[in-house]
Amino acid sequence: MDGIVSITDMSFSYRDWLSSRADALCPPVLSHVDLALEDGSMTLILAPPDAGKTTLARILAGLIPKYMDGALSGTVMVDGHDLSKTEPWELVHCCGYVSQNPLDELIAPTCEDEIAFPLESLGMPRYEIIRHVRAALEAWGLVSMREASAQELSGGERKRLLLAVQDAVDPKVWILDESFDDLDVSWRERLMDRISSRSNTSVVFGSRYLDEFHGTFDRYGLLAGGRLSFGDEADIALEFERLCETPYAASASKSVPGFIPVSDAAGCGRSVMPLHVMEREGKEHRLSCTDVSAVHMRRSMVQERPFTLSVPRFSLLGGEVVSLCGPNGSGKSTFSRLLCGLDLPLAGTFSLDDDVASRTVLNRSVGYLFQNPDYQIFLPTVKEELAWSLKRAKIPQREIDRRVGECADLFHLDLDETPSTMSFGLRKSLQAATYYLLDRPFYILDELDSALTYATAFDLVNLLRHNGAGILLITHDRRFADALADRNYTISDGLLSEAEEGA
């Protein structure tokens, strides 16, 4: 069946950079994939981490193999273009791609320039560009940030900016790679409305929010083991959940005393076993702050009011999981930076075990897993990455090897792999693994669950609190937070406060 998108017997393998031979290839990421999409159809493709979602999305956008070496066989046609003979710029009108990591894709100095760039490329008259830019900014809530640099936006705002670009160009085929992640619930709903209300063809690659997707799409596919299969929504979801019954849990339960795997976690909405935690030796730690406030300006634009954050009271005990939810750009990451001592507050104090904590004390006590794992991964192999902190702590080499080996097993990481070529989800696992070895009494997980399946995210949280650590879980996923957290905090209108139970 020929449609707007047609893939026939397509296979792809990345070049093996560790081999001395130039033509050496890694095992295939995608194998004999067939796909035909009707014009105007909406397709959801579920895939566990590292299954090749981003690879398939980029192949459809005409970016692979041009920008990532590898061998592509078979035929890929989009809107009548044979992608083996088509340059990416020829696809602007027919194929739009929103990547998982928005910072990679942003090129212009301001939000409005970002939206205008492809329209300028298409030679659209200026008055039309102005109209499209204005409409896209309004549709994605970016009017007040039109002159802001994307570097100064939050993760969710950047994702909205990419969607605004897509909306302005309005290509025939929308390829959305985990685009619902990083968005708060109102923007997820807006995105869902957007893709269901237009006649464009949409391909959504996802691994979470299955309940929110329920009944919306025409077709449901599963990408696993390099193969793409389609079926009934319930069957695909069931198979996906089976696949996501996580490699972590099985090994973790064997290796970490006190660890109980989270069963049935993939759907998140159902019963979740309580997390069991080993008691930390010594007294229970308590991290708290009172009357903290912070102010900052976006330097790229003139603001009438600076961004302010006020935290009258906050506390986190060892062993508990506390969630922090709030809309995009509400100040979750700002608070995280204050809590781990990276930034200084305008006023207020932080305390550890009821003693005032200096920045250095906070740095040493609170592990902060950034939203973007690439800022925390820097060495050529997983082994070196995991061993770095231990070496700095002058631990004997044999002990380092033992701990690193155990940690790699727990997190299912290949010690010889190159982090920069690993999938986004695996890079997040590596990021968590490095902090696991640091054994901090507190961790801040800044949207750790983004781009991960529920089961994987549950297990990473479980592993990180194996030794009684307190966890501050920042997430846009209310259900995920409710399933894990003992208490909840929210940020609204610049005020961080504890949510009422059941609210």
Partner 1 sequence: MTTDTYVAGTGVLYRFDPRAKLLLMVLLCIWFFLPVSLAGAWLVVLGVIAAGVLSVGLRRMFRTFLTILPMLAFMILFIPFNVRSGEPLLVAGPVVLATREGLLQTLRLMSRFVGVTFVCALTIQSTPMGKIMLALRWYGLPYKASLVVSLAFRFIPFIADSFSQIKDSHRLRDPNIDEGKGRKGYRSKLGDMLPTLTSALVVSLRAVPSLAMSLEHRGFGLPGKRTSYHVLETSWRLFTDLFISTMIPVALWFLFAVR
Subset of residues 343 to 362 that bind partner 1, contact rule: CB under 8 A: 360
Sole window of 47-55, 91-99, 227-235, 256-264 interacting with partner 1 (rule: CB under 8 A): 91-99
The bridge status of strand 70-78 relative to strand 81-82 is antiparallel
Find out whether 353 and 283 touch, Cβ atoms under 8 Å: yes
**Region 121-140 residues binding partner 1, contact defined as CB under 8 A:** 121-126, 129-130, 133
**Could you tell me which of 173, 182, 235, 229 has the C-alpha nearest to residue 208?**
182
Q: Within 397-456, which residues bind partner 1 (CB under 8 A)? A: 420, 434-435, 438
Question: Do 377 and 388 contact (CB within 8 A), yes or no?
Answer: no
| Residue 198 C-beta: closest distance to partner 1, Å | 20
Q: Please list every residue from 304 through 343 that binds partner 1, using CB under 8 A.
A: 337, 340, 342
Query: Which 47-86 positions form the footprint of partner 1 (CB under 8 A)?
Result: 61-63, 66-68
Task: Tell whether residue 88 is a contact of partner 1 (CB under 8 A).
Answer: yes
Other Cβ atoms less than 10 A from the Cβ of 118: the count is 20
Phi, psi of 267 (to 5 degrees): -80, -20
User: Max CA-CA distance within the chain?
Assistant: 69
DSSP-based helix, strand, coil % in the chain, nearest 5: 35, 25, 40
Q: Which stretch binds partner 1 (CB under 8 A): 182-190, 388-396, 399-407, 445-453?
A: 388-396
Of 101-120, which residues contact partner 1 (CB under 8 A)? 103-110, 112-114, 116-120
Q: Which two tokens stand for residue 364?
A: 């040493």
Q: Which of 337, 442, 431 is nearest to 388 (CA)?
A: 431
One-letter amino acid for residue 319 of the chain: G
* Interatomic CA distance for residues 179 and 455, integer angstroms: 19
Binder of partner 1 out of 73, 229, 253, 363 (CB under 8 A): 363
What's the min distance (Å) between Cβ of 108 and partner 1? 7
Of residues 103, 112, 113, 181, the one with CA closest to residue 142: 112
**C-beta of 25: minimal distance to partner 1 in Å?**
19
- Size of interface with partner 1, in residues (CB under 8 A): 74
Q: How far is the CB of 386 from partner 1 (least distance, A)?
A: 11
Q: Pick the stretch among 24-32, 185-193, 326-334, 371-379 that binds partner 1 (CB under 8 A).
A: 371-379
Residue with tokens 């929308």: 174
Number of neighbours of residue 277 by Cβ within 10 angstroms: 21
In whole angstroms, the minimum distance from the beta carbon of 276 to partner 1 comes to 27
* Residue closer to partner 1 (CB basis): 101 or 453: 101
* DSSP-derived secondary structure for 56-119: HHHHHTT-TTTSS-EEEEEEEEETTEEGGG--GGGGTTTEEEE-SSHHHH--SSSHHHHHHHHH
Binding partner 1 (rule: CB under 8 A), the pick from 376, 423, 462, 490 is 376
Interactions with partner 1, residue window 225-284 (CB under 8 A): none
Selected from 198, 227, 280, 298, the binder of partner 1 by CB under 8 A is 298
Tokens at 466, concatenated: 């194996």
Which residues inside 141-180 make contact with partner 1, applying CB under 8 A?
Answer: 147, 149-152, 165
CB of 205 to partner 1, least distance (A): 17
Least separation, in Å, of the C-beta of 302 and partner 1? 5
Q: Contact at 8 Å (CB) between 44 and 219? A: yes
In terms of CB distance, is 437 or 484 closer to partner 1?
Answer: 437
Question: Among residues 185, 256, 260, 301, which is the contact residue for partner 1, using CB under 8 A?
Answer: 301
Among 187, 368, 480, 489, contact with partner 1 (rule: CB under 8 A): 368
Q: Which of 367, 468, 470, 494 binds partner 1 (CB under 8 A)?
A: 367
- Minimum CB separation of residue 27 from partner 1 in Å reads 22
Peptide bond into 65 cis (omega under 30): yes
Q: Choose which of 2, 39, 87, 399 interacts with partner 1 (CB under 8 A).
A: 87
